[in-house]
Amino acid sequence: MNAYELLIREAVAATEISASRFTLQGHASDPLSKRIRKELTSKTARDYLLYQLKNRLYARFYCPGSLQSERNAPAYGESSAAFVETLSAANAGKGFWEDGWAVLQPRDAEGRIVVEQHGLRVHARLEQAMPSVDLQAGQTIKLRFPKEFLSLSPGFYMAVGDRDLFDHAHQQVVRLYWNLVPQGAPQLMQTLTSALNAAEIPFRLKVLSRPHLYDRCDAGVLYVDKRDFAAVMELVSRLYADLAPFLKSAVPAFTKKLANGLGCSEDPGDQESFGMHRCRLLAEGLLLAFEQGKLTVDERMQSVRERFMQDGIRLDAPYLNPGAEDMYRMDRVDVLLQVEALERTEAFARQEGSLERQALLGTAQEIAAQLLEQAFRSGGRWTWMGDDGEAFAGQGSNYRTLGSNLYNGTSGIGLFLAELYRVTGDVELREAALGAISQALAKRQEIAPAMRSGLYTGWTGIAYAAARGGLLCEDEELVEQARELLARTVRHRADKREFDIISGSAGAVTALLSLGELLEEPAHLDLAVQFGERLLKMADRTDGLYSWPDPRQLSQRHLTGFSHGAAGAAYALLELYRATGEERYLQAAEGALAYEERCFVPERNNWPDFRGVTGPAKRGETHSCVSYWCHGAPGIALSRLHAYEVTGNALYREQALTALRTTKQHVERMLQEGTGNYSLCHGLAGNAEVLVWGEQALGREVFAGVPTAEAAAHSGIERYAKRGLPWPGGTNSGGQTPGLLLGDAGIGLFYLRLYDPQIPSVLLPGKTIKNKEILLR
């Protein structure tokens, strides 16, 4: 079975069809009402089901390049005006003349000429015509077209070559797909339009016109004539090195991968997009399998194979049209460049201590300098503009003044700047740190009441940043404000439904225990116990396993993982057990870890991502697995390391090793492919931090994680710091943002912690404060 069939098989296994609906990875299609179903013929009902399945496969399989968890529907609507203006300015084209337009009316009532071609009638200004004087009805002229189309392809800005691609019949079009981050779209536009127009190669190039939608592998598409492909690839091979920093690795499903972030396919030629065409064939094969009573994955896979074969499409080369020869490859020069880069990264990972400590500190300082330059300052308070952090809740990007929380607000930025001040003594960093935390304290009321007890979203996180920042910067007033905010948090009637580390009781427990130690106030233990009791009350204890429902999606399966799942709750309960000695907290924590082990996916060495998955578990079902601190192996590795430390149970050590190895493989793959953002929450920096924790906890002889973490740091310096490029963050668009868990402040803290491991991480709540003397060294 080839690589394409393996990906398709995963989609087949994740799809279940009934007479009127289907599920994909447990997500059901939109049902028709009984009244509408009665009015539809069997063929119309089948067509509707096929249409839904095709579109779902397009969004969740074709666009991301492999089967992914539930994605937000593309919000095609108004484009971002400023972004489109930037794209237009980058477009080096001048427009083109098209022959064959017949004059119907030399001048209409508004002084324009009326022309027609192939049944299309156009009213044009005289200056758009050639010739433009003494025009006669029936005369054939040339018509001038602009360098761009703003609404020809919904959701995309399209550049047109100075020689139009579609100026003659009987041509075959080839599509080149670019998996861009939004910052790379203007660079791609300028680079390709300049080079292709200079070479007089006809083309069309479209890129997404809304930055927050750059989460799909076909964010940019270049259309060229198949006869020009060799000439185009000669240019692309020379230009690829300049474009590579802006490309993520994956390519759309069914396409041929020519290089990281660059795929290709032949256009089906039937007015249907390539992705929709192939997803339609896949959907038809699945529907036929259901109608023929085929139940096993192998049987359904054979039905899909047969449906593709009916159209002459080979599953070992689904990017080709029927009977086509595979002539699509990247120039050898570029391949060698990629191999050399990979060899350098792998060689670096094998070297011990190869990354100079001063380079680590220097990178953190450069990031901090950029933050200071980007800040808005007023009355001693500092703030920033950026993505507001809704990405972790699955929402679209929202660029505005940052909030106050630790996750992606000013308190998190202030915490990073305070840590760096303590290392460097730079008084401007101290001023900025105090100003950022002061802004967070002033804006704390803007946090929704339901989130206020949370560590990353709420007041306890701001209090932690204020307390630690105050001690680092030797500002007693700020420490006192932390105490006052904590008292307000205690009086506040928190939402009793929120349980997790991010915004709920688990986060409150760990924050209170940490702050109690930091502020030398043992009374906080009693408050932590209150939140611990809440956590126990909210738990589902089916079969002796502990798990927690999402209060906003009660039908969703209970999540695994650190940020919103059982691992984070277990972490908080074990901290409470260690502080109180109460066995029931230990029992609940071990029940939560046991729940996750029941969900473990052995063939992936990972834990399933149940976000959006509803209904009871079914035999043979498949689920997506991700590998980040928030969801998947990395965060679970931290929870198991902690459980092993607290209990001494060797079972948790083995589970931690499994999770660490999966995390390491994921980091190595991202480095090899040149993909992934650098955020702490769900990016390379966070995963690399987990590898460092693993080695520190278990020893180099058991798990060697630091070399790979250093390789990730080295790659970031080479790709972004040295080139002066923006660091890719954890926002939906992959763009830059200033905050701690999603953006630059967290990336800076990652480099700072590699420079000085004594500096606490923000990824292990409660582990940040082990010894107050560390603050005052």
Q: Where are the alpha helices (DSSP H) in 443-523?
A: 459-472, 476-491, 505-518
Pairwise CA distance, residues 337 & 334, whole Å:
5
Pairwise CA distance, residues 390 & 395, whole Å:
5
Pairwise CA distance, residues 693 & 660, whole Å:
10
Question: For the residues of 730-760, what is the DSSP string, one character each?
Answer: SSTT------TTTSHHHHHHHHHHHH-TTSP
How crowded is residue 86: how many other Cβ atoms within 10 Å of its Cβ?
17
Query: Do 143 and 128 meet the contact criterion of CB atoms below 8 Å apart?
Result: yes
How crowded is residue 163: how many other Cβ atoms within 10 Å of its Cβ?
15
Q: Which of 543, 531, 613, 600 has its CA nearest to residue 567?
A: 600
Q: Is 625 annotated as a binding residue?
A: no
> Which strands sit side by side in the sheet containing 27-28, from one edge to the other?
15-17, 22-24, 27-28
Query: Do 220 and 205 meet the contact criterion of CB atoms below 8 Å apart?
Result: yes
Please report how the helices 505-518 and 476-491 are oriented relative to each other, as an axis angle in degrees rounded to 10. 140
Q: What DSSP state is assigned to residue 59? A: I
Pairwise CA distance, residues 135 & 148, whole Å:
27
Query: Do 426 and 369 meet the contact criterion of CB atoms below 8 Å apart?
Result: no
Q: Is 170 annotated as a binding residue?
A: no
CB contact set of 167 (below 8 Å; sequence gap of 6+):
96, 98, 202
Grouping H, G, I as helix, E, B as strand and the rest as coil, residue 26 is coil
For 379-512, strand residue ranges (E) read 381-383, 385-387, 399-401
Per the listing, tokens 């803290």 go with 749
Q: Which helix (H) or strand (E) holds 263?
A: strand 262-266
Pairwise CA distance, residues 315 & 102, whole Å:
45
Largest pairwise CA distance in the chain: 98
Residue type for position 229 = F
Q: Is 682 annotated as a binding residue?
A: yes
User: What pairs with residue 156 in β-bridges?
Assistant: 208
Q: Which of 83, 92, 95, 93 has its CA nearest to residue 208?
A: 83
How crowded is residue 272: how many other Cβ atoms within 10 Å of its Cβ?
12
Q: How many CA atoms lie within 13 A of 335 on its CB side?
A: 8
Please report how the helices 684-698 and 633-647 are oriented relative to each other, as an axis angle in degrees rounded to 10. 20
Pairwise CA distance, residues 129 & 185, whole Å:
32
Query: Do 704 and 642 meet the contact criterion of CB atoms below 8 Å apart?
Result: no
Q: Which of 763, 679, 689 has its CA nearest to residue 726?
A: 679
Q: What DSSP state is assigned to residue 451? A: G
Q: What DSSP state is assigned to residue 558? A: P
Question: For the residues of 633-692, what is the DSSP string, one character each?
Answer: HHHHHHHHHHHHHHH--HHHHHHHHHHHHHHHHHHHHHHHHT-----TTTSHHHHHHHHH
Cα-only R_g, the chain: 29
Q: Label each residue of 326-340 as H, E or C.
A: CCCCCCHHHHHHHHH
Residue type for position 329 = R
Terminal Cα-to-Cα distance of the chain (whole angstroms): 59
Annotated binding-site residue numbers: 630, 681-682
Annotated binding-site residue numbers for Zn(2+): 630, 681-682
